[in-house]
Structure formats: C-alpha cells, structure tokens
Homo-oligomer: A and B are copies of this chain.
Amino acid sequence: MEERVMELFDAKRFSELKELLLEQMPADIALLFEEIEEHERPRFFRVMPKELASEVFALLDSDLQEELICAFSDSEIKAVMDELYMDDAVDVIEEMPASVAKRILRQADSATRSIINRLLAYPEDSAGSIMTTEYVDLKRKMTVAEAFDRIRKIGLDSETVYTCYVTDSRRKLIGIVTVRELLLASLDSLIGDIMETNVIHANTMDDKESVANLFERYDFLALPVVDNEGRLVGIVTVDDAIDVLQEAATEDMEIMAAITPSEKPYFKTGVFKTFIVRIPWLMLLMISATFTGIIIGAFESNLAENAVYGIALTCFMPMIMGTAGNSGSQSSVTIIRALSLGEVRYRDIFRIIWKELRVATLCGLALGAVNIGKVLLVDNLILGRAYSMPVILVISITLFATVVFAKFIGCSLPIVAKRMGFDPAIMASPLITTIVDALSLILYFQIAVMVLGI
C-alpha cells in the first residue's frame, strides 16, 4: 500500500490517491505520514477528505500535529478541530506550546472552547482527563422509537452510540440502555422501563488507572463519568481504557528498571531526553552503593588477615548478592503486578508475608543444598579450587538467610509504599536490590565470623 500511495502522490494523481486512502485505516495512514518529507506533509494532508483527515490528525505524533497546525490557515484548523472528538481535541491542545494552543482555541466557537477549557483543567491522571463529552443522552419518558431517532440525529458525532445514557432534568445520571437492548425491545416501550438503573460509573477526579481497571473487570465498552453532584459530564470509551492500561504497564516496567517513565515511543525520545530519564536512578543507585563499600571496608581487616578465607569469600560475593537481588525482585515484581491488577490489597499484607516466607524457605533450602553439591563438584573437582567445608557452609547458610530476608523485603516494601501513597513500582528491582545488597553482605560477613571464627 505504502509504495502505491507514494507513487500516486509523487505523480500528483490526487483523486486516485484520495480513493486509495479512503480504503485505509487511519492508524496506517498516520504511520505512513511520518515517511513523507516534511514540506510535502501539508499538501498530502489536504488530499484527504475532512473526516478522514481529522481521524488521521488525532493519531499523529504531537510534533507532526504542531508542524501541520503551523502550516494551516485558520479555516483549515477550524475544519480539523470541528471533526475531532472532544477528548482528542484536548489531547492535541495539551501537547502544543501555549501560542499554538491559543491559536487553535480561537478557531473554536465559544461553547466548544468552554468545554475544552473545562476538560483541560482536569488533573493529568484523572478520569476527567481521558473522557469525551460526546455521547447519546436519552430521557426516561422517551420511547424506543424516539431513542433511535435521537441516536440517528446525534450518533454521528458521538464516539460511541452503543451505550446510551439516561439523565433527568438536572442532568443527573439515572440509567443506561444499550443499543442491543433497544433493538430487542418493542418500538413503543419506554426507556424508563427498559433501562438498567444500577449503573457503575466513575467520578471525574477518580484515578484513570483504576477507571481503566473497571473495563477489564466488567468488560465495558464505555463508562459514564459524573461530577461531584452526580451529573453526567462525559464518558470513557474502551479504546482509551486500553491505552491507559498499556501505558500503566509500560510505566511499571520502566520504574522497575530504574527509568523515569516517559510517555513517548522509543524513537520519538531524543538521545539527551533518554539520558535524562535514565541518569537520575543510575546516579542514585551508584551513590547508595557506598553502603556496600562501607560494609566491605569494615570487614577488610578480617579479609586481609585471612588471605585464604578472604579470597574465597570474595569470590562468592557477586553470587550471593545476585541471588539475593533476584529473589527479592521475584517477590517485589509479583506483588507490584498483583497490586496493579487489583489481585491483592493492603489488608492482605500478613497473608502475603506468610506465603512469601514459606516460598522463601523452600527456595533458600534448595539453593543452599544445591550450592554444596555445585561447589564440591564444579569448583573443587572440575575447576580444581579447594574450598573447605566451613567456607562452603558459610555460603549455603548465607544463601538461605539472604533469600528469606530478600523475599520478605521484596514482598512487604511495595505494599507499604502503596499504603503510604507512593508508586509501589519504585520499590522494585533496583532500590530493593540496593537494600538487599547491603543486607546480604552484612549477613554474609556475620555468618563468616561466626562459622569461621575470623
């Protein structure tokens, strides 16, 4: 498709190009748009009919949107913005520099402008920030036939028509009815008789991630959003919920990997920006590793005085810290994900710790036992080292103890963090690893002192 599009465009066969583009999905055109040379983009954009052009526009990267806006006449801006769904319009404006945003807002009529300004005011992570204001609203006294008329009348401009919202005279949400129910009901039934009155809804200020979780739990296609007075102010649609869920998962993974989350795709983030989101945690973790240095330093006389033990203990240091870190992040990642999927809550903390301690005991025993065999077989027999039994015992006991500690810290810190209002993902791998590193070294050296008497 791509080649054919470029061919027609280069040959200026615009009417054929328009036909071809009409058959494509907007998301594919948006992708292809990036391949077009910058100065050609406005011309390409103008080939598309208004409706398609707006759909493609909404899917473009904000840099490209800005570029186009700057190339547009005021009437072109108005044409595009008129066709956009309100939530997409808000997304566009939010990403623009103030001067461009103002120019866009000047093209909107005053009613639209006031809606956009209201939507812009919702906090970034709120349900209000992802909702759209275009939906089909019905009244209790309408018949099914009248409902269909209303859907036909305003349905074209609504993001979804499949769920209709029933409001009273003060715009309070009193029920919902799906098009499926409308189709199965007789045309003279009253909406008030067939509507579902027990409606699950969100508040404008609810966290958008927990709103998105409702879609997963209840298989909704759309969810109504009400203000503090219970008045219907918008709806969230399933496509936006999917985006929120995916963004949340990406964000969790980034935080777990010690990256400050950013919303842009990989290649849209410049080298310097990528450096900026990665360096703070690296710096922090590097500096906090001072602790492990201090711990080793404090033990240095013991290590140096017992050269044989010292070298042996040093050789196993990375393995013990690595195993402890891995054990800890297994627990923390499991709990962080379970928290964000709503599978566990704060009140489960003791049940979680109890379970993790039992799992840790099994893991610690297995690792400790296998370690004895491994050192005797691999290190001593095959590699020809001569680790003595006391040293091997120190390693195995330390393995057991650190795995138990690491899993305890790994499972409890994220829950405590969430309870205190922090993002539990911050407690994942790198930070827990730093704590666990220090702790495992202390345990290691203490156990060495006790068993080896150094």
Interface residues of A (CB under 8 A from B): 23-25, 27, 148, 151-152, 155-156, 161-162, 179-180, 183-184, 198, 200, 215-219, 221, 238-239, 241-243, 245-246, 249-250, 252-254, 256-259, 265-267, 271-272, 274-275, 278-279, 281-283, 285-287, 289-290, 292-294, 296-297, 300, 303-304, 307, 310-311, 314-319, 321-323, 326-327, 329-330, 332-338, 341, 343-344, 348, 351-352, 355, 358-359, 362-363, 366-367, 370-371, 374, 378-379, 383, 385, 399, 403, 429-430, 433-434, 437, 441
- Given known pairs A246-B245, A266-B344, A286-B371, the reply for A275 and B316 (CB within 8 Å) is no
Known: A148-B183, A238-B238, A282-B326. 8 other contacts (CB 8 A): A24-B198, A27-B218, A155-B183, A265-B341, A287-B370, A289-B322, A321-B321, A326-B430
A304 to B156, CA, bound (A): 80
- Bound together, the chains give a CA A271 to CA B407 distance in angstroms of 13
CA distance A257 to B396 in the complex (A): 23
Please tell me if the beta carbons of B242 and A344 are within 8 angstroms of each other in the complex: no
Inter-subunit contact B311/A297 (CB<8 Å)? yes
Contact B239 A242 (CB under 8 A): no
Distance (whole angstroms) from the CB of A303 to the closest CB of chain B: 7
Give the docked Cα–Cα distance between A266 and B330 (Å): 12
CB-CB < 8 A to A292: which residues of B? 315, 318-319, 322
Q: Are A161 and B148 in contact (CB under 8 A)?
A: no
Given contacts A318-B292, A321-B318, contact A283 B370 (CB under 8 A): yes
- Are A314 and B303 in touch, CB under 8 angstroms? yes
Contact A343 B267 (CB under 8 A): yes
Determine how close the nearest CB of chain B comes to the CB of A118; give it in whole angstroms: 24
Nearest CB in chain B: distance from A240 CB, A: 9
- How would you classify the secondary structure of chain A's contact residues: helix, strand, loop or mixed? helix
Complex Cα gap A239–B218 (Å): 9
Among candidates B179, B241, B243, B278, residue contacting A363 with C-beta atoms closer than 8 Å: B278
Q: Determine the chain B residues whose CB is within 8 A of the CB of A266 once the complex forms.
A: 334-335, 338, 343-344, 352
Closest residue of chain B to A238, judged by CB? B238
Ordered by A's residue number, 21 sampled pairs between the chains whose C-beta atoms are within 8 Å are A25-B200, A27-B219, A152-B184, A179-B179, A216-B243, A241-B242, A250-B341, A254-B337, A256-B333, A259-B334, A278-B327, A278-B330, A278-B359, A282-B323, A282-B330, A286-B367, A289-B322, A296-B314, A304-B307, A304-B310, A314-B317
CA distance in complex: A326, B434 (Å): 11
Q: Among the listed B351, B366, B379, which residue makes an inter-chain contact with A279, where contact means beta carbons less than 8 Å apart?
A: B366
- Whether B281 and A326, one on each chain, are in contact in the complex, defined by CB atoms closer than 8 angstroms, is yes
* A246 lies within 8 A of B243 (CB): no
Instruction: Given the known inter-chain contacts A249-B249, A318-B317, please indicate yes or no for A289 contacting B363, CB distance below 8 A.
Output: no
| Interfacial chain B residues near A279, Cβ < 8 Å | 362-363, 366-367
A319 & B293 in contact (Cβ 8 Å cutoff): yes
A25 touches B257 (CB 8 A): no
Contacts of A246 in B (CB 8 A): 216, 245, 249, 341
Question: B residues within 8 A CB of A283?
Answer: 366-367, 370
**B256–A256 CB distance below 8 A:** yes
The answer for the CA separation of A314 and B328 in the assembled complex, in Å, is: 24
Give A361 to B67 CA distance when docked, in angstroms.
Answer: 31
A292 vs chain B, min Cβ distance (A): 4
